[in-house]
Amino acid sequence: MITVSLCMIVKNESKVLSRCLDSVADLVDEIVIVDTGSDDDTKAIARLYTDRVYDFKWIDDFAAARNYAFSLCECDYIYSADADEILNEENRQKFRILKETLDPEIEIVQMYYGNQLENGTVYNFDRELRPKLFKRVRQFKWIERVHETVRTDPVVYDSDIEITHKPLTNHASRDYRVFEDMIRNGEKFSPRLFSFYARELFVSGEKDDFKKAEDFFTQIADDDETSRDDLKIAICIVVKAAYWRQDYLKMYRYAMKDVADDPCSEICFLLGEYYEDQRDYKEAAIWYYNAAFECHSILNVKYEKEYAVQGLVDVYNNLGLTEQAREYERLLRES
């Protein structure tokens, strides 16, 4: 049987930490908790479960904090958990069986991360596989009968364990501070982080968040070297920021760049919202319909689903076409 270290980084998690630890503490062989600056009872709660509670000075870098936490672990495998996660009884039993039967050659175990859509996360799906259990010490192995080489790709196992994500609040404001600091420092965004920033803005960004991000995304949209996918993402941010500032010339100019090339639901919805504001309800209905039924979302699935259909309900009610409005209300209830 393998041994497992539970490894966590936490800050001000007193409302949820016990819930998480109660669901997993008896499944692991050690618990390592790294606090990044709590001013509530988080550390006191953590010490009820382990004496291995450490401090890490927060430097706006989650990777640095996790690397430090991993360095403190001593078991065969490290289970990386967040305080707002829960393992229910069914998945606790699956975890116990996994621990008893896991092939030591496996270096990463992926588990399903569920309940993603309940609290406005940056994901457009409710369930996905994520790497959660990591072999602490990697042993390199030669492969191939001739022209032998060292295997560098990790051996990954997709388990059927599902973790329930139950955050009490959205953490977007914390993330925006990191993104904005990266922009100020001229740090390069990876394609993955660039996409996360844009999705987080479209899920929970306020007007001020878009204002701070607009120049950054405008530069990317204007760069001839920007990939097609990144261009579409950048245009979404620029169009919404310009719309909120009532700079309709800029909004329309960038929106047409997307419309001319396989438009996304976010841009069609924003055009519908603009025409609804102008009380041009027939034009608004065209764009809302496109958003809901002719296009697909790239940042927030709600722009393709409920937001666009709700827009159709509103404009048809304003046009006095109550039968059509009721039909879209029915679609909303069934979605």
Q: Give the residue-averaged pLDDT of 257-283.
A: 96
For residue 14, count other CB atoms closer than 10 A to its CB.
Answer: 17
- Strands 4-10 vs 77-80: parallel, antiparallel or unpaired: parallel
pLDDT in tens, 242-258: 999 999 999 999 999 99
Q: Distance between CA 142 and CA 195 in Å, rounded? A: 36
Residue ending a domain, choose from 110, 141, 165: 165
Is 294 found in the same domain as 229? no
Is 317 found in the same domain as 228? no
Is 148 found in the same domain as 213? no
CATH of the domain at 325: 1.25.40
Is 106 found in the same domain as 18? yes
Instruction: Compute the 3-state secondary structure of the chain and give helix, strand, coil in percent, each to the nearest 5.
Output: 50, 15, 35
Amino acid, res. 120: G
Q: Give the residue-averaged pLDDT of 79-100.
A: 96
pLDDT of residue 122: 47
Q: Give the residue-averaged pLDDT of 42-70.
A: 95
pLDDT in tens, 116-158: 555 545 455 557 889 999 999 988 887 776 666 888 889 999 9
Structural tokens at position 234: 């950048």
pLDDT in tens, 205-235: 999 999 999 999 999 999 999 999 999 999 9
Least confident of 35-39, 131-135, 162-166, 245-249: 162-166
Is 194 found in the same domain as 157? no
For residue 119, count other CB atoms closer than 10 A to its CB.
Answer: 16
Give the predicted TM-score (pTM) of the model: 0.76
Least confident of 6-20, 158-172, 259-273: 158-172
Is 296 found in the same domain as 179? no
Provide the mean pLDDT of the chain: 92
Is 185 found in the same domain as 92? no
User: Residue 40 sits in which domain range?
Assistant: 4-165
Q: Which helix (H) or strand (E) holds 53?
A: strand 53-55
- Strands 77-80 vs 127-135: parallel, antiparallel or unpaired: antiparallel
Q: How far is CA 287 from CA 139, 142, 305, in A?
A: 56, 57, 13
Structural tokens at position 78: 């490290």
Is 127 found in the same domain as 20? yes
Is 127 found in the same domain as 35? yes
pLDDT of residue 170: 62
Number of domains in the chain: 3
Q: What's the angle, vertex CA 173, arms to CA 300 and CA 213, rounded to 5?
A: 65
Q: Distance between CA 264 and CA 134 in Å, rounded? A: 37
Is 94 found in the same domain as 52? yes
Q: Strands, E, within 60-205: which ranges?
A: 77-80, 85-86, 108-114, 127-135, 142-143, 149-150, 156-165
Helix (H), strand (E) counts: the chain: 13, 10
Query: If we measure between CA atoms, which residue out of 267, 315, 316 comes closest to residue 291?
Result: 267
Structural tokens at position 334: 């069934």
Using 50, 70 and 90 to split pLDDT, how confident is the model at 327? very high
CATH of the domain at 130: 3.90.550.10
Is 32 found in the same domain as 94? yes
